[in-house]
Amino acid sequence: MADYITIEWEDHDFEKTNLVTDSGGYDWYKCKKCGLVAWRHGLGPIKTWMSSNPTPCQKRVESGEIKKVKIIDHYPDSEFGLKYGEVYETCKCPESESHKYGNAVWVFSPKRNEPVRLLSREYTFV
Ligand SMILES: [Zn+2]
């Protein structure tokens, strides 16, 4: 259990998978929406392997926290590496921009390796 990370309980829809707490004091969970397996020691934080690298869970998409957008302009393609016609999940607005663009659509740019803001003509919700 070397490379693990702490995740947010609320980000997933966890269901306990072991009937009895195991001998080491661990409880095991699986997300009903995305299948992510995680564990918890007592009432400690819930953890998963780093290699599981939880992508945004369907739970967060359904709650509206994360939306899916389709790129319909060539600018984000050339500037941000967001392929024309492809669908991406929105991400959180960076803290430094939230006072100005907190309600804008932000997508993680693979080219810049940071969230970028899309203009309304550059995407449609899907
Ligand atoms: Zn999940």
- 101 CA distance to ligand 1 middle (Å): 28
Q: What is the pLDDT of residues 13-47, one digit of tens each?
A: 999 999 899 889 999 999 998 899 999 998 899 99
- Based on the domain organization, do 71 and 96 belong to the same domain? yes
- Based on the domain organization, do 79 and 41 belong to the same domain? no
Residue 101 forms part of a structural domain: yes
Position 3 scores a pLDDT of 87
Q: Is the pTM of this model over 0.75?
A: no
- 93 CA distance to ligand 1 middle (Å): 21
Residue 30 burial class via C-beta count within 10 angstroms: exposed 0-12, middle 13-18, buried 19 and up: middle
Q: What is the pLDDT of residues 82-106, one digit of tens each?
A: 999 999 999 988 889 988 888 889 9
Q: Which of 34, 27, 36 is nearest to 7 (CA)?
A: 36
User: Residue 43 contacts by C-beta under 8 Å, 6 or more apart in sequence?
Assistant: none
| Number of neighbours of residue 67 by Cβ within 10 angstroms | 15
- 121 CA distance to ligand 1 middle (Å): 31
Residue 60 forms part of a structural domain: no
Residue 106 forms part of a structural domain: yes
Residue 31 forms part of a structural domain: yes
**Count of structural domains within the chain:** 2
Give the structural domain span for 37.
4-55
Position 6 scores a pLDDT of 92
